[in-house]
Amino acid sequence: MLGLARCWPFSALRQLGCVSLALLLAGCSLQQPPAPVETLYSGQTYRERPRGSLQSQNYTVKAGDTLYSIAWAADQDFRTLAQRNGLRSPYVIHPGQTLKLSGSATRTHNSSTATPPRPAPAKPRPAAASTGQVAKTSTENRENKSVDPAPQPSYAGSTTLQTSNTTGSVTASRDTALPDRVAQWRWPVKGKVIRRFSATEQGNKGLDIAAPTGTPVISAAEGRVVYAGSALRGYGQLIIIKHSDEYLSAYAHNSRILVKEKQRVSAGQKIAEVGSSDADRPMLHFEIRYKGKSVDPQRYLPRQ
Higher pLDDT, 35 or 301: 301
Taking the whole predicted model, whether its pTM rises above 0.85 is answered as no
Weakest mean pLDDT among 19-33, 239-253, 258-272, 282-296: 19-33
**Residue-level pLDDT at 159:** 27
Residue 207 pLDDT > 90, yes or no? yes
For residue 46, name the pLDDT band (cuts at 50, 70, 90): very low
Nearest of 116, 222, 212, 236 to residue 169 by alpha carbon: 116
Mean pLDDT over each residue of the chain, to the nearest integer: 71
| 269 bridge partner residues | none
**Residue-level pLDDT at 103:** 61
Alpha carbons 130 and 199: distance in angstroms, whole number: 61
Nearest of 302, 278, 70 to residue 190 by alpha carbon: 302
**pLDDT tens profile 160-182:** 222 233 222 323 334 456 777 88
Q: What's the length of the chain?
A: 304
**Residue-level pLDDT at 54:** 79
For residue 300, name the pLDDT band (cuts at 50, 70, 90): very high
What letter would DSSP give residue 240?
A: E
Alpha carbons 238 and 277: distance in angstroms, whole number: 9
Residues forming CATH 2.70.70.10 domain(s) in the chain: 192-299
Higher pLDDT, 77 or 43: 77
Weakest mean pLDDT among 29-38, 156-165, 249-258, 265-274: 156-165
Please tell me whether the peptide bond between 90 and the residue prior to it is cis, using omega within 30 degrees of 0. yes
Residue 277 pLDDT > 60, yes or no? yes
Contact 222, 206 (CB under 8 A): no
In angstroms and rounded to an integer, the radius of gyration of the C-alpha atoms of the chain is: 28
**Residue-level pLDDT at 221:** 97
- Residue 171's Cβ-count burial label (10 Å; 0-12, 13-18, 19+) is buried
Higher pLDDT, 103 or 220: 220
**Residue-level pLDDT at 289:** 94
Weakest mean pLDDT among 8-12, 44-48, 292-296: 44-48
Contact 67, 81 (CB under 8 A): yes
Alpha carbons 227 and 242: distance in angstroms, whole number: 9
Alpha carbons 72 and 45: distance in angstroms, whole number: 10
For residue 19, name the pLDDT band (cuts at 50, 70, 90): low
For residue 30, name the pLDDT band (cuts at 50, 70, 90): very low
- Residue 168's Cβ-count burial label (10 Å; 0-12, 13-18, 19+) is buried
Provide the CATH number for the domain formed by 34-103 in this structure. Answer: 3.10.350.10
Residue 259 pLDDT > 60, yes or no? yes
Alpha carbons 256 and 277: distance in angstroms, whole number: 9
Q: How many helices (H) and strands (E) does the chain have?
A: 7, 12
Nearest of 85, 86, 109 to residue 158 by alpha carbon: 109
Residue 243 pLDDT > 60, yes or no? yes
- 3-class SS of residue 241: strand
β strands within 65-156, DSSP E: 98-100
- 3-class SS of residue 272: strand
What mean pLDDT comes out for the span 213-228?
Answer: 96
- Residue 90's Cβ-count burial label (10 Å; 0-12, 13-18, 19+) is exposed
Amino acid occupying residue 92? V
Which fold would CATH assign to domain 192-299? Answer: Glucose Permease (Domain IIA) (2.70.70)
**Residue-level pLDDT at 195:** 96
- 3-class SS of residue 144: helix
**pLDDT tens profile 87-131:** 887 778 877 888 888 765 433 333 333 333 444 444 444 444 443
Higher pLDDT, 185 or 88: 185
**pLDDT tens profile 193-204:** 999 999 888 899
What mean pLDDT comes out for the span 56-72?
Answer: 82
Residues forming CATH 3.10.350.10 domain(s) in the chain: 34-103
Buried residues in 59-74 as b, exposed as e (16+ CB within 10 A): bebeeebbbbbbbbbb
What mean pLDDT comes out for the span 197-221?
Answer: 95
The sign of the dihedral angle between the CA atoms of 28, 29, 34, 37 is positive
